[in-house]
Structure 1
Amino acid sequence: MLEAINLSKSFSDKQVLDNLNFTVAPGEIMCLLGANGAGKSTTLNLFLNFLHPDSGQALIDGADVHSNNSSKDKLVYLPEQVNLYQEFNAIDNLKYLASLSDLQVSDEQINAALDETGLEQSARKHSLKSYSKGMRQKVGIAFAIIRQAKVLLLDEPTSGLDPSATREFIKIIEQLANKGAAILMVTHDFYCAHTLANKIGIMDKGQLLTLLDNKQLSINTLENKYHELISGTSVVRKAS
């Protein structure tokens, strides 16, 4: 559903992405871990067609996003800060977003999507300026549900969330994957990556250093592997 084929990108004389290759299948969650400047956000921007690659292809459902605009109809992007209309309530925001996508939705469909995200009924008619980041994310994810998105791109989604909100977020994303969405998330959050991902890519200086199967990977092993690859050091967890 999501495929990077030899993707490369430079800005001026700086290589920010170097021959990137990976796939994300329907129902699969892939997380990219890496420091700032590793190339994670550039990867998302290439799939969003915000940037054009110097070489290679970014494919959604087999279509090159840079030559086929219809690929955008299959994805929803959730940035670190969800940019919705602060003066609108959740229902009005979703009605407006649906209209931009030429979707006809009823209040019942909107409320059903919000039910799936766990946004409380009492909050739905309040303006979003009173919402926490976690609540705004739920509105954004509700739109992905309404749109029946086949691909979800997430940029640092748990940054600034408390542990309870992070657990709620993880549960919602797992539900979307179980419905068949292909999900690509970039993050610094080891816990979220380890809890959610089927596979985890470690990036540094524009290169995908390794792609790990997360099925039998402990969080301690993940952290050690990350630090060994990035800085040549390992992390030893102290028992609490």
Structure 2
Amino acid sequence: MSSVLITGASQGIGRAIAVELAGRGHRVIATARRPETLADLPVAQRLRLDVTDQESVDRAVREAGEIDVLVSNAGETVRAPLESVPLAEVERLFQVNTLGALRVAQAVLPAMRERGAGRLVFVSSIQGRMVLPMIGPYGASKWALEALAETLAIETGHFGVRVSVVQPGAVSSGGGERARVHLGENDPYTPLYEALPALRGELVTPEDVAATVAATIEQPEPPLRVPAGAPAERALRARKEAPEDEPFLLAEIDW
């Protein structure tokens, strides 16, 4: 079994991945900004790791010991129109979702490269290949993440490192409900925000995503991109088949 370090394991998808992998016999190192939130997880190690803090990342990777697999899951989102979203919020999402993922990958890659083996699994989103209104900053951070992941697949494949991007659609993890919302009083974009549930489509559970991540890790030759669940497969297929010369949405907007 593999030694797997998971970022953002305190709740939602990350917690479900930790439980799933531990149940399959993997040695799981669960990490979070507040390690006390990991106390009830059945894992080998619980470490503090803030993906936006280089010192925190370096310390956690040292304390974890040998890491066969990195599951880069830590992420945040926001709800706001691009016309008025605070740029500080966009920067925050890129710091966590994109640069944070790269920071941890950089920390684990030298040892993987020297061993000639390793796995990087990035939890992305269907929004890494398409956009949804009012969630544009999150989507942009995931598009950037997928560019980094694909580049890493090319650069590190020669050294025996395999890279995969897991792409869920809407997940019943509570992340959307916890998201900061930036809408003013009588905001003209409020009807679009209220239409989001229909635009996001069918929900899957964190456990569904965790099972996809585990299956990806256990594949000898995993694909680069892995949709997590039937709704994600349908959405990504529709995006692939749609014309590239006009914006694409999963559903019509009624606002």
Q: TM-score, normalised by structure 1?
A: 0.35
State the structure with bigger RCO (CA 8 A, min sep 6), 1 or 2: 1
Structure that is richer in strand per residue: 1
Structure that is richer in helix per residue: 2
